[in-house]
Structure 1
């Protein structure tokens, strides 16, 4: 009986740790996909600029990202120009014009093509010394560059590289490249390649360092398990009391590279059943040898409890797998939204400053909606709170208490994201075309629900008081198109605008999916 309880205890602990390891893998994959979305957005901006961007424009774009807060593992974003070896003089002129340095691409190479660095942010003395460095002269970087050029815009990562300069400052990390095509289109040589540099220590700490902390020790390798391919090793040492049976190995595909991730329990791991239970049961059986029936009943209950725990753990694993697939689907949808918004914003922007301002504001509107859904675990979001957050971001001051009026209305994920962007665009137009500082005081928003059952609808009125009156614009901008697409296509609703002498009235009518 003691042996059976011991085996059941060990099996329950093993299943629990496998669940913890899968949770850690989900965090790592989600963080990597989030960071690579930055490369996709920058790639869309370069495509909109036809592969040509000045140093000042690139610096302004990087500063608008607030990378230190949003991408803590990012060491920098750069751009390498793809040229024939005979055209090196053009790079010398580009470095002279952009950075005031007189330098030819280095080091020397026998390749017929070169990929020198011509843009990089954030700029430092070490970064300035690297300007003009030909990435293709390094075999590891060249392999990733050649793979990215053949991947039709998909990112491709290097193996383990050492980032920084000097023996003490160099840290393990990875570079991820993405091709930027010329305006000529298919068949032409690329204009160059964008790349992002991530420090692996900060990358995995950002993924695994959020509460609740997971009780495990992690090792991440690029491909096979070897000291030369080690990307990350957590500071928490594994608990030596757990054998190799508790070692869990998983694989992840990151930008064309296969990562091998090994998980071991740390000293913080607590098994679902105490390890002393089998010993106590054996002693109890020796002392009470005459109570065989009672002990047999206890063993039966322990076995049934272990079986229930096993079933619950398997169910938990299935639920976590479904959650992982749903998370990947949400991330892909978010990336698609960001790319579409980047392309549309770039097509209507007059210059890079206007692009950066508009694109950053819309990203913040999406982020506010995502944050509300995250805090509610992707269940529901309050309409009033969503309005207050989006309006507060635009007007940047305390909102009047009588500005908004309506009952408690909870929104699903799709409606939250669509209305978040809609409120941002309406508020931006109110600030831009309203009565200056009176724009806030002249704005009123109310809403109500009508109908019953599946026919329920959400009716929202947006009223802007303007002493100068408003007229229907002659040209429809991207913001208005974005509002109409969100209401009519995304939500299947209707929107009507009334331009009058005392201001603008917008009526939104959408199906309510509460």
Structure 2
């Protein structure tokens, strides 16, 4: 009796045990699936952060161009000839350095009925008589006086009254009244010739601002505006199309999300496997104009773990129904792994946010340095060609330093590599092995930027006034490091020799002032120049510890 009663109970217990383990396995598979989807979502949001960094970095670069153009016009009180503006435009090498830029120009102001002075200005600039069009009932006229690139397709833009366009008028008003760059909404560029190309413009006022409460009074106090126009497709493709290719499909809208406000859509199609499951929406503001950005993963996006793992886990649990302890242990390990993945992902997002804030701070500092350098170069230049050449060369020197820091993830840059880059850029030749002598010295961000400009100015002077252009043997750069810990100091000797007598200049130029400012004010070091009979020796000494420079 007892054995007969025990048999069905034992059978029921095995079935119950199997069902319990099977249910636990299926539950674990579902949990792993949810965890893998959450990890994939975090990974895609991190990829979106990378895309946002690229877009915002590209837009900040374009705004620095607008500021530089504004500095040029303010230095000359708006009196720039067509040939000078063309030379400035060509020196910037727009196609290589500012992809997505459609053009840049200058707009004047006049009250309705007083357009004759502006039409006279157009005739002086372009040698042809051109009326201000189209007719307008607005109180103010704002025709285009200068524009680059000036080709046949762009001739009609000269004299075009931008104030008649309801899409451009609010941006012009806000730029003049606030004294800050202001962007238009979505506009169509070159409609008819290049079909419908969406784009936008950014305006910035020049000259004294009236500070009056009304738009009319503010326009009367401004001598005009500079503007830059962009093809949004080219601009965002330049930002998102660089290697490594990000597995995101981006759609950018001007404010409200609709087909009429679409700025750009990535050529890479979103993956149908995800649908809208991982869709991420972000907002950025450019010149007071809010943009909506929607990101979706493409087929190239790979999840941190394979989606088949939860299925395999369920099958494995069914096959090992009796291994309750192993399932429990696996559950514990899976939970720990998911927790660690979640913590790591949260930390990664926090690090990326801090990095983004730091990058924005550095970009603003770089823009400030570029503006100061543009104003000082313009103040010391005798003509526009000299300004364009000097400013472009110094901008390239800054870019070389920035590139080194970017490749090192803004950690450290090697002194020898920095010297090699700047000297090869100026001399256009490979350097002899014996030209640079010294131990490895790693420079922080401040030292890299300051010394990069210093070496560029020294090399330019050596090429102009010394024998380095004829013989690379005429230049030796040697350096040593003294002291320990916080007392470590870099001692660098720049030695030029040759047949030419080099004497101290009678007047201190901007290049010399820039060198002194970088060494003494930026790096808290010392610099001494020895003008010998057959050469020049420049001795530089700076502290290497960051705390010693504060």
Same fold (TM over 0.5): yes
Return 405-414 or 43-52, whichever deviates more: 405-414
Partner of 1:345: 377
Q: Secondary structure at the match of 2:433?
A: coil
Distance 2:74 2:472 in 1: 37
Distance 1:25 1:393 in 2: 32
Asked whether the equivalents of residues 5 and 299 of structure 1 are also in contact (C-alpha less than 8 Å), the reply is no
Asked whether the equivalents of residues 255 and 261 of structure 2 are also in contact (C-alpha less than 8 Å), the reply is yes
Distance 1:274 1:399 in 2: 51
Partner of 2:283: 251
The C-alpha deviation readout for 1:318-364, integer Å capped at 9, x for no partner, is: 11001101110110111010000011111111111111111111111
Distance 1:228 1:412 in 2: 47
Report how far residue 86 of structure 1 moved. 2.3
User: Cα gap change, 1:184/1:19 in structure 2, threshold over 3 Å: closer, same or farther?
Assistant: closer
Q: Secondary structure at the match of 1:63?
A: helix
1:28 aligns with 2:60: no
Partner of 2:84: 57
Asked whether the equivalents of residues 191 and 197 of structure 2 are also in contact (C-alpha less than 8 Å), the reply is no
Unaligned segments of structure 1, at least 5 residues: none
Distance 1:299 1:437 in 2: 72
Asked whether the equivalents of residues 47 and 181 of structure 1 are also in contact (C-alpha less than 8 Å), the reply is yes
Distance 2:205 2:87 in 1: 22
Q: Secondary structure at the match of 2:88?
A: helix
Match of 1:336 among 349, 357, 368: 368
Match of 2:491 among 455, 459, 484: 459
User: Cα gap change, 1:184/1:355 in structure 2, threshold over 3 Å: closer, same or farther?
Assistant: farther
Report how far residue 467 of structure 1 moved. 3.0
1:385 aligns with 2:413: no
Distance 2:78 2:186 in 1: 28
User: Cα gap change, 1:337/1:279 in structure 2, threshold over 3 Å: closer, same or farther?
Assistant: same
Asked whether the equivalents of residues 126 and 165 of structure 1 are also in contact (C-alpha less than 8 Å), the reply is no
Return 448-457 or 431-440, whichever deviates more: 431-440
User: Cα gap change, 1:445/1:39 in structure 2, threshold over 3 Å: closer, same or farther?
Assistant: same
- Show the 5 A alignment for 1:480-495: 480-495=512-527
Distance 1:397 1:6 in 2: 59
Distance 1:185 1:433 in 2: 48
Distance 1:430 1:369 in 2: 20
Asked whether the equivalents of residues 495 and 535 of structure 2 are also in contact (C-alpha less than 8 Å), the reply is yes
Over alpha carbons, which structure has the higher Rg?
A: 2
Partner of 1:82: 109
Report how far residue 406 of structure 1 moved. 1.4
Partner of 2:502: 470
1:364 aligns with 2:364: no
Report how far residue 225 of structure 1 moved. 0.8
Match of 1:96 among 109, 123, 130: 123
Distance 1:95 1:172 in 2: 28
Asked whether the equivalents of residues 462 and 468 of structure 2 are also in contact (C-alpha less than 8 Å), the reply is no
Asked whether the equivalents of residues 5 and 278 of structure 1 are also in contact (C-alpha less than 8 Å), the reply is yes
Unaligned segments of structure 2, at least 5 residues: 1-27, 213-217
- Show the 5 A alignment for 1:6-25: 6-25=33-52
- Show the 5 A alignment for 1:107-506: 107-152=134-179, 154-166=180-192, 168-182=194-208, 189-435=221-467, 437-438=469-470, 440-506=472-538
User: Cα gap change, 1:183/1:6 in structure 2, threshold over 3 Å: closer, same or farther?
Assistant: closer
The C-alpha deviation readout for 1:446-494, integer Å capped at 9, x for no partner, is: 1111111110100011112243423222211111110000000000000
Q: Secondary structure at the match of 1:140?
A: coil
Asked whether the equivalents of residues 466 and 502 of structure 2 are also in contact (C-alpha less than 8 Å), the reply is no
Report how far residue 82 of structure 1 moved. 1.4
Distance 1:37 1:332 in 2: 9
Q: Secondary structure at the match of 1:87?
A: coil
Cα RMSD after superposing both structures: 1.8
Q: Secondary structure at the match of 1:165?
A: coil
Report how far residue 167 of structure 1 moved. 6.1
Return 456-465 or 183-192, whichever deviates more: 183-192
Distance 2:375 2:124 in 1: 28
Distance 1:160 1:250 in 2: 18
User: Cα gap change, 1:14/1:435 in structure 2, threshold over 3 Å: closer, same or farther?
Assistant: closer
Distance 2:276 2:78 in 1: 51
Q: Secondary structure at the match of 1:109?
A: coil
Asked whether the equivalents of residues 430 and 439 of structure 1 are also in contact (C-alpha less than 8 Å), the reply is no
TM-score by length of 1: 0.96
Report how far residue 239 of structure 1 moved. 1.8
